[in-house]
Chain A
């Protein structure tokens, strides 16, 4: 559970992890029915409409002004997002 939570980048409390473990096991039990089906020769379906390789012309298009893009940032410095330290310790 801790590993999956880490993969999902979810900080969960001990209590949440315990509760989720029970619920997820119950849900995973429901998945067992799928094992009844022989799907050896069945191709997978990822999407349902027969559209392939939708490309647009490779021409520049206007983007949103950076000021608008940054307007929702929790923290910005001029024209850039402030990203917390990637390497090293716990901030302050």
Chain B
């Protein structure tokens, strides 16, 4: 049950923290200190953070407290007008550039790189008064589904420290699940927000392609990458997306589409939220119950679908016939784009450089030793798929199949408002279980990557446990329809508010406070042996 190792302050949701800050129950400084104390005490055993910058965060917290104090003397209207995330700790995945701080994207090739400018979302969070305690671990260049491909060592799953948190945004997900922050930022190219959200038992949304500007984000696959929020409830995820969404001239792919007020569209009461399900038409794509799906996961997801139906939603079986081609299509398109994007790491302008011989020898040595195994694998795949004589057979073919995958979704959305599906075919897997078989690792994203290929929004929310580990339920929506996904996810929260599993905490929170317990790197090494 509830473990006293986690201070009360850090157990609150971000929207509860915001209300408490306005009431003056505690200060932004106290709120930050509670989170920093927990993170610095436990992170040796969790491995969620690549760095904590307490000094910079404390300066931001002081500014937030000053803004709060000024508003309090001005009156209730001034307090109400403050940004929702003022004084709230927000963790960033280590591929978000923040001026004057490092950003490695989990790679040795960016070791020591200090960002000369802020990412768009960093500017937006700064304006909102959010407090960034540090940056989180990730698979190198966001390539992976377990965070084991980080050059800086793995991250543990707070539910079982011998298991992965998912990936690539594993550090951001684990930090939220372990109460080190209430919310965090991740990126999702094939499932890298939704899959770790599912495996860590939290909420994670990948918005529509183009919803959030990627200016200042280290690129992986540019036609697929999208930024999104993690939170411990739907409202918190909605508040964080709100703070970063919208058009930015510096990212031509960020769309001039109005951003609705996501949180305002969420019903305040559970009853109202549950009632919103009446008449909702939800498609159940039969192809998403894939081969290799664990029976426990399928059972939880089907039970969730029945609960939605009992609450008044109309469940319609839909076909997405090209789903089975998603994995192959994705693993051509994403590596091809990555091989082009990662050409910039030349050992000349920034980042690691071997300083070996002439320029060509320097490229070969810098890139050969600066990139990790998975990144090299994908660069090789992508280069091959784009090379003369293979382009039509691989890359062009994949782009055509991508059209078919997108058309499947278009046809489904002519019949239903949203789709409901599993997020990941399995619960969190043990360290090293999939490291030697890249294809097995890639299968983790079978239910999430078609959504990226169609550019659609998707959200994962917890729907119970299988073998003591969290299972994620995914809602997939029409382009720009994040608001409906938040409402559906909120409705599911409401109808399961009394479920026993909702009161369970990550099982290994206590072990995080055991100074004798092993580090994630030691656990991975043992599992590998």
Using CB atoms and an 8 Å cutoff, list the residues of chain A in contact with chain B: 1, 4-5, 7-13, 16, 20, 23-24, 26-28, 30-31, 33-34, 37, 39, 42-49, 51, 54, 56, 64, 68-69, 71-75, 81-86, 88-91
Contact = CB atoms under 8 A, between A and B. Distances in A.
A33 B323 CA distance: 12
B365 interface: yes
A8 B379 contact: yes
A26 to B, nearest CB: 6
A4 B356 contact: no
Given A8-B383, A48-B223, A72-B114, 17 more contacts: A4-B383, A7-B383, A8-B367, A10-B368, A11-B365, A11-B367, A31-B328, A31-B332, A33-B328, A34-B328, A37-B401, A48-B479, A49-B255, A68-B116, A73-B349, A84-B359, A90-B357
Nearest to B398: A34
A75 B353 contact: yes
27 contacts: A1-B380, A4-B384, A9-B360, A10-B376, A11-B369, A27-B331, A27-B377, A30-B331, A34-B401, A37-B401, A42-B403, A43-B400, A43-B403, A44-B396, A46-B399, A48-B223, A49-B479, A54-B253, A56-B249, A64-B116, A68-B116, A72-B116, A74-B348, A81-B348, A81-B349, A84-B357, A85-B359
Contacts of A27: 331, 377, 381, 438-439
Interface string B389-423: 00000101111111110100000000000000000
A74 B353 CA distance: 6
A1 B325 CA distance: 26
B324 interface: yes
B358 A85 contact: yes
Q: Give the bracket for the number of chain B residues in contact with chain A.
A: 35 or more
Contacts of B397: 34, 39
Contacts of A44: 396, 399-400, 402-403
Interface of B: 112-114, 116-117, 208-210, 223, 249, 252-253, 255, 322, 324-325, 327-329, 331-332, 339, 343, 347-353, 355-365, 367-369, 371, 376-377, 379-381, 383-384, 387, 394, 396-404, 406, 438-439, 453-455, 479
Contacts of A90: 357-358, 361
Interface centre among A37, A74, A88 (most CB of B within 10 A): A74
Interface centre among B117, B380, B398 (most CB of A within 10 A): B380
B455 A49 contact: yes
Given A47-B223, A71-B114, A86 B380 contact: no
Contact of A91 (B357, B381, B387): B357
Contacts of A45: 399-400, 402-403, 406
Contacts of B351: 72, 74
A83 B479 contact: no
B209 A75 contact: no
Contacts of A42: 400-401, 403-404
B396 to A, nearest CB: 6
B380 A8 contact: yes
A45 B369 CA distance: 34
A71 B115 CA distance: 10
Contacts of B328: 30-31, 33-34
A28 B370 CA distance: 25
A91 B455 CA distance: 47
Contacts of B117: 64
A72 B113 contact: yes
B358 A47 contact: no
Contacts of B348: 73-74, 81-84
A66 B325 CA distance: 47
A37 B438 CA distance: 24
B255 A69 contact: no
Contacts of A4: 380, 383-384, 387
Contact of A10 (B353, B379, B455): B379
Contacts of A71: 114, 116
A1 B352 CA distance: 25
A45 B233 CA distance: 35
A31 B394 contact: yes
